[in-house]
Amino acid sequence: MFDLVAQSVFSGLLAGAYYALIALGLALVFGTMRIINLAHGELVLLAGYIAYTAESRFGLDPLAALPAAIIIVALTSVIIYLLLTRIRVDREINSLILTFGIAIMLTNGILMIWSADIRSTTSGWYLDSIIIGDTLFAMNTEILFAVIGVLVVGAVWWWLSKSWYGRALRAVSSNRDAAKLMGIDPRTTEILSFAVAGLLASIAGIALYSGKVIEPSLGHSLTIKAFIITVLAGLGSVPGVLIGAVLIGVAESLTATLWSSALQGLVSMLLFLIVLLVMPSGLFGRTRRRG
């Protein structure tokens, strides 16, 4: 029983790092513009299909598709931002409607180009398993992208904390008008945040294709998962995204092992609601001062 629980926790930790890759781009945009990009899951899915095309038609490793995925997905993400800037009235609700419509368009575009068939990598190395300590099992792709996920979260946290553009982005998020007085162009930083979100979605999409299966209707569930993790983490907390993702991953894995895989979604949603009831600002979010 102990070995079974240990394997479940280990699998949940690996899944959490993968979930963090998916959620990080949404969290970045939400923290910058207070906008929930409901097309984020479709951007992740688009990158996965680009990796599938590179492997199936050109015989390339899925990771070799990363440059093409970054260009296409980041450009699509920036186009979404440019459309959002056209909204002048009721920005919050209208941005949800707009990004939801874009998500539907992307889903149907993927369906028209790649059909509704389920796709996954055929590379033997990604699907091969390794044994750690004679008790813990994982696929090579799970280990690879868990490490990549932790490194990417660390890189984004460093970029936001130490680089000029990262601090500018945080300044715009905190107080847009004050940032303008300091000589920061909010439009440039917001475009940058959407472009970086596209880059992160590209990495997440290739991880998704390499370790799981993809199909056109998957984007919606990816967006929901990313939103839950973003709210759990708290506004503006990059390390919180990783911790929130790990909590969701471990909770789902233990649920599937000890109870039923059909209850995974329910348990993650219950965890989400409990955290919000106890800590409305999220695990690491800051409560705004009034005055």
Task: Tell me the average pLDDT of the chain.
Answer: 89
In a domain, 290, yes or no: no
pLDDT at 288 over 50: no
Structure tokens belonging to residue 197 = 């979100």
Cα dihedral 178, 183, 185, 190 sign: negative
192 domain-assigned: yes
Asked if 247 and 232 count as a contact pair (C-beta separation under 8 A), the reply is: yes
* CA distances, 17 to each of 77, 81, 151, 288 (Å): 23, 27, 10, 29
pLDDT of residue 16: 92
pLDDT band at 178 (very low <50, low <70, confident <90, very high): confident
Amino acid at 273: L
d(CA 247, CA 241): 10
Q: Is residue 287 assigned to a domain? A: no
Residue 284 domain flag: no
- Position with higher pLDDT, 34 vs 163: 163
DSSP string, 48-96: HHHHHHHHHHH---GGGGHHHHHHHHHHHHHHHHHHHTT--SSHHHHHH
pLDDT at 159: 92
Phi-psi category of residue 236: left, alpha or beta, with phi > 0 → left and psi -120 to 50 → alpha? left
In this structure, of 44-48, 55-59, 229-233, 260-264, the range with the lowest mean pLDDT score is 260-264
Q: Is 285 contained in some domain?
A: no
Question: Residue 15 is encoded by which pair of tokens?
Answer: 């899944």
Q: Look at 32 and 229; give whichever has higher pLDDT.
A: 229
DSSP secondary structure string, 150-171?
A: HHHHHHHHHHHHHSHHHHHHHH
Is 80 exceeded by the pLDDT of residue 63?
yes
Residue 97 CB coordination number (10 Å)? 12
Q: How does pLDDT run across 106-161, given as a tens digit for each residue? A: 999 999 999 999 999 988 888 888 888 777 888 899 999 999 999 999 999 999 88
- Domain encompassing residue 28: 2-278
Mark out the alpha helices in the chain (DSSP H runs).
Answer: 2-33, 40-58, 66-84, 91-114, 124-127, 140-162, 164-174, 176-181, 186-211, 219-233, 238-258, 264-278
In a domain, 289, yes or no: no
- Residue 289 has a pLDDT of 39
The whole-number pLDDT of residue 153 equals 92
**Domains: count for the chain:** 1
Q: Which of 14-18, 258-262, 267-271, 284-288 has the lowest mean pLDDT?
A: 284-288
> What per-residue confidence (pLDDT) applies to 133?
76
Question: What pLDDT score does 108 carry?
Answer: 96
Confidence of residue 60 (pLDDT cuts 50, 70, 90): very high
pLDDT at 109: 96
The per-residue pLDDT for 286 is 59
Residue 194, domain member (yes or no): yes
Q: Does any domain span residue 239?
A: yes
Which of 215, 204, 247, 209 minimizes the C-alpha distance to 228?
Answer: 247
**Whether the predicted pLDDT of 216 surpasses 90:** yes
In the predicted structure, residue 291 carries a pLDDT above the cut 70: no
Amino acid at 270: L
Would you state the pLDDT for residue 96? 92
What pTM, to 2 d.p., does this model score?
0.91
Task: Collapse the DSSP code of 36 into the 3-class scheme (helix H, G, I; strand E, B; otherwise coil) and give the result.
Answer: coil
- Are the CB atoms for 188 and 165 separated by under 8 Å? no
- CATH number of 115's domain: 1.10.3470
